[in-house]
Amino acid sequence: MGPGIAIVGAGQAAASCAQELRRRGIDGSITIFGDEGYLPYQRPPLSKAFLKEAQPPTRLLLQPPQFFEQQRIDVRTSSRVASIDAAGHHLSTVDGTSFAWSALVLATGTRARVVAMPGHDLTGVFTLRGLTDVERLRTGIAAAKRVVIMGGGFIGLEVAAVARGLGCDVTVIEAEDRLLKRVTSPVMSAFFERLHRGHGVAFGLGARAAEIVGNKGRAVAVRLQDGQEIAADVVLMALGAEPNTELASAAGLDVANGIVVDDAGQTSAKNVYACGDCARFKSRRFSTAIRLESVQNAIDQAKAVAASIAGAPQAYDPIPWFWSDQYDVKLQIAGLSTGYDEVTVDGDDASTSFAVEYRRQGRLIAVDSVNSGRAHMLARRRIEAETK
């Protein structure tokens, strides 16, 4: 048998791609190279239930070990890929193994952004991306009285909710003038600010951290650019994510804030594909190039890549969807609101169940639903119809 299919990264997209390849009857070898020491697992609980309460990591696994054995999917959980040779159809791992492939899938995900400000490497400063991070952060929060979170995006706010639930004083520092500015409207930002303030979270909006102040190697405060100091036992940098594109760049593939792929998941190199958080593709539906960081995209784009490898390419142009849980509020986002020119509120945004609709040139492009699964499901169908 000739060389099989290699998948770099052992996350949500890798698992979905391998599973779909088998479902489509691909019989050759499939090898997944991961570097976290775990079988593919789900990340969303890391900033929610799994942060609140310690649970065995096996609870997060997407599939049990037997599944991969039965499917003859070889998952090498501690085998970081050091380089790929796109023309020569080879990859090398950091421990010196050379591996030949017939098709290569890059599913390398993203990493938490670290801003190298003074004090970023002190004890008590955390980022949150993987299982190792969450174990450390949970221990840190359990011993903390005061938690300062840099970044008022989804991960920052979800952690704020958990830390408040555990009795910590929480301050969120956000450089923009409102929360979640990159992804939602002022109405929704105001809703989440009220929600968190109602639970006792303090905010520094339009505030930039200049330094993490230490004492004997431990973080004790965050100093803002205006000189103000906020005392902290734990500091979380929740400043967004950066795509892991280094392997692709070094191999000469097109990279532009993500590994550039076409709508079949094909990179600029033949037989090399990319999917999930690390990939950037053109959405005809939304007339823009996008790189999505969501479970929906990791699963569905990986399936599209598997279809391409199986010789049945299909155009991937999804209605993106995403969710966030904070306290007893579930936000569900359908579509992509970028470039909206009209916002309407369906229901009462002073209540805890309503929706916000976004239109561009009269067409519905996105809906944010608060505690309304029905509105969300309907929205996905309505956006599908209006963005064809």
Count helices and strands (H / E) in the chain: 9, 26
- Sign of the alpha-carbon dihedral angle for 42, 181, 116, 232: negative
User: Beta-carbon neighbour count of residue 216 at 10 Å?
Assistant: 7
Nearer to ligand FAD among residue 12 and residue 189 (C-beta): 12
- Of 359, 319, 318, 363, nearest in space to 337 by CA: 359
As a dihedral over the C-alpha atoms of residue 24, residue 27, residue 28, residue 29, rounded to 10 degrees, the angle is 80
User: Least distance from C-beta 125 to ligand FAD, angstroms?
Assistant: 17
Nearer to ligand FAD among residue 228 and residue 249 (C-beta): 249
Nearer to ligand FAD among residue 33 and residue 192 (C-beta): 33
User: Least distance from C-beta 294 to ligand FAD, angstroms?
Assistant: 4
CB 129 within 8 Å of CB 111: yes
Q: How far is residue 139's CA from residue 45's CA, in Å, rounded to a whole number?
A: 16
Alpha-carbon 232 to chain mean position: 26
User: Least distance from C-beta 128 to ligand FAD, angstroms?
Assistant: 5
Residues that bind ligand FAD (CB under 6 A): 8-14, 33-36, 43-44, 46-47, 80-81, 107-110, 128-129, 155, 244, 247, 276-277, 293-296, 298, 322-324
| 275 DSSP 8-state letter | -
| 382 DSSP 8-state letter | H
Q: How far is residue 266's CA from residue 329's CA, in Å, rounded to a whole number?
A: 38
User: Least distance from C-beta 320 to ligand FAD, angstroms?
Assistant: 9
Q: How far is residue 142's CA from residue 165's CA, in Å, rounded to a whole number?
A: 11
Nearer to ligand FAD among residue 71 and residue 296 (C-beta): 296
User: Least distance from C-beta 218 to ligand FAD, angstroms?
Assistant: 24
Q: Helix or strand or coil: residue 133? A: helix
User: Least distance from C-beta 82 to ligand FAD, angstroms?
Assistant: 7
Nearer to ligand FAD among residue 126 and residue 322 (C-beta): 322
Nearer to ligand FAD among residue 213 and residue 290 (C-beta): 290
User: Least distance from C-beta 81 to ligand FAD, angstroms?
Assistant: 4
Nearer to ligand FAD among residue 113 and residue 223 (C-beta): 113
Q: Helix or strand or coil: residue 143? A: coil
User: Beta-carbon neighbour count of residue 236 at 10 Å?
Assistant: 29
Nearer to ligand FAD among residue 324 and residue 372 (C-beta): 324
CB 274 within 8 Å of CB 298: no
User: Least distance from C-beta 271 to ligand FAD, angstroms?
Assistant: 18
Nearer to ligand FAD among residue 111 and residue 223 (C-beta): 111
User: Least distance from C-beta 168 to ligand FAD, angstroms?
Assistant: 18
- Direct distance between the N- and C-terminal alpha carbons of the chain, in angstroms, rounded to an integer: 43
| 42 DSSP 8-state letter | -
Q: How far is residue 94's CA from residue 82's CA, in Å, rounded to a whole number?
A: 5
